[in-house]
Amino acid sequence: MNKYGVIAKFDNPQSLVHAAEQVRNEGFTKFDCHSPFPIHGMDEAMGLKRSKLGYVIGVMGLTGALFGFGLQTWIHSIEYPMNISGKPYFAYPAYAIITFELMVLFSAFGAVFGMMFFNRIPRFHHPVFYSEKFSDVSSDAFYVSIEVDDPKYNENNVIDFLKNIGGTEIEVLTDES
């Protein structure tokens, strides 16, 4: 029976953003704000750093472009130089299209699988799924969760704090139901 943390419900996007600001100001770090859709300004309210996903995509895109250009150059200049309609072996302007397409393809893989990596998904088991009410988060509910791992975590204080800032339906979640 490992404790996971405390969740509290808020009424709407505004109150969730206000709650996020207060949780951050209180000094919590291991918390999250759950909503049915991304909320504008929430990253600043939670004090999150900019996502590093862009770098992953950039590196993947560059790899794709280099691979595409290298593949074509290698095939026609090194592996099997063949005269087709008198075109030069190293016809680099003709390589632009496939270089571009592979850059896009690799970037797309970088974006999707990089997103999964940073989000730690797929992860089918998570304590929040034990809460009956939490499942409304994918429809119309807004929740704050504060985890046990947080250095400032003290169960009674956290519950009181969440109540004070307007949280309702407060639940303490454990790793097994």
Q: Considering the complex, what minimum distance in angstroms separates the CB of residue 67 from another protein? A: 11
Site string for another protein, 106-125 (x = CB under 8 A): -xxx-xx-xxx-xx-xxxxx
By C-beta, is 131 or 158 nearer to another protein? 131
Closest CA to 27 of 119, 154, 173, 164: 154
> By three-state DSSP, how is residue 103 classified?
helix
- Residues within window 11-30 making contact with another protein, judged by CB under 8 A: 12-14, 16-17, 20
**Nearest approach, Cβ of residue 48 and another protein (Å):** 6
Q: Is 53 in the site for another protein (CB under 8 A)?
A: yes
Q: Which is nearer to another protein, 101 or 175 (CB)?
A: 101
Burial of 27 from C-beta contacts in 10 A (0-12 / 13-18 / 19+): exposed
- Examine residue 66 and tell whether it contacts another protein (CB under 8 A): no
β-pairing, 142-147 vs 168-174, is unpaired
Return the residue of 75, 157, 163, 168 that touches another protein, per CB under 8 A.
75
Among 70, 138, 163, 177, binds another protein (CB under 8 A): 138
Other C-beta atoms closer than 10 Å to the C-beta of 164 total: 9
Say which residues have a Cβ less than 8 Å from residue 14's Cβ, sequence separation at least 6: none
Give bridge partners of residue 5 from the DSSP assignment: 147, 173
Nearer to another protein, 138 or 154 (CB): 138
**Phi, psi values for residue 174, rounded to 5°:** -115, 165
Q: Which residues are within 8 A (CB) of 48 and not within 5 positions of it... i.e. 6 or more apart?
A: none
Chain contacts with another protein (rule: CB under 8 A): 12-14, 16-17, 20, 32-43, 46, 48, 51, 53-54, 57, 61, 71-72, 75-76, 79-80, 84, 87, 91, 94-95, 97-98, 100-102, 104-105, 107-109, 111-112, 114-116, 118-119, 121-126, 128-129, 135-140, 145
